[in-house]
């Protein structure tokens, strides 16, 4: 099971635990956080990217398109950004215009976690929602 340092996306900062140490996330929370980071990071932005520029997404480019066309193309861009995550399997990607901001898109990713040794067990479909704006 993956363990990561917790990130507060609202403040764009790491989370400090009550004991004044870095807070951590595990399991589904870790997976949700990694999905969110991949989608919010612009592809090719990180110079130390070990994947040769594939880490991140092209979601910012979608806001150059008319919103109707962006809503059609966003699921493809999300699947592309999450393709290298070997520990999840994307089941579906749904997107709608944000109710509060017509230039923002709410993206819901339905996925299953690929856990070692769990091939025979029927996995639960999990979901996470990310809001992106241009």
Please tell me the predicted confidence (pLDDT) of residue 33.
94
Q: What is the mean pLDDT of the chain?
A: 89
The model's pLDDT over 34-48, given as tens digits with 9 standing for 90+, comes to 999 999 999 988 888
* Res 113 pLDDT > 70: yes
The model's pLDDT over 67-102, given as tens digits with 9 standing for 90+, comes to 899 999 999 999 999 998 988 999 999 999 999 998
User: What gap in Å lies between CA 69 and CA 134, rounded to an integer?
Assistant: 14
| pLDDT > 70 fraction of the chain, expressed in percent and rounded | 94
Please, which pLDDT band fits residue 9 given cuts at 50, 70 and 90?
confident
Name the fold adopted by 28-133.
Answer: Nuclear Transport Factor 2; Chain: A, (3.10.450)
Give the residue extent of every domain in the chain: 28-133
* Res 115 pLDDT > 90: no
Please, which pLDDT band fits residue 122 given cuts at 50, 70 and 90?
low
129 forms bridges with which residues in the sheet?
Answer: 108
Please tell me the predicted confidence (pLDDT) of residue 47.
85
Please tell me the predicted confidence (pLDDT) of residue 79.
97
């Amino acid at each position: 099971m993956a363990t990561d340092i917790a990130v507060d996306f609202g403040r764009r900062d790491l989370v400090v635990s009550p004991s004044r140490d870095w807070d951590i996330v595990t399991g589904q929370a870790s997976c949700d956080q990694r999905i969110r980071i991949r989608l919010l990071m612009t592809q090719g932005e990180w110079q130390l990217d070990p994947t040769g520029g594939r880490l991140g997404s092209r979601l910012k480019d979608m806001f150059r398109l008319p919103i109707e066309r962006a809503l059609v193309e966003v699921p493809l861009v999300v699947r592309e950004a999450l393709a290298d995550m070997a520990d999840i399997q994307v089941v579906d990607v749904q997107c709608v215009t944000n109710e509060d901001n017509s230039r923002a898109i709410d993206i819901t990713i339905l996925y299953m976690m690929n856990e070692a040794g769990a091939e025979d067990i029927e996995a639960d479909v999990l979901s996470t929602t990310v809001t992106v704006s241009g």
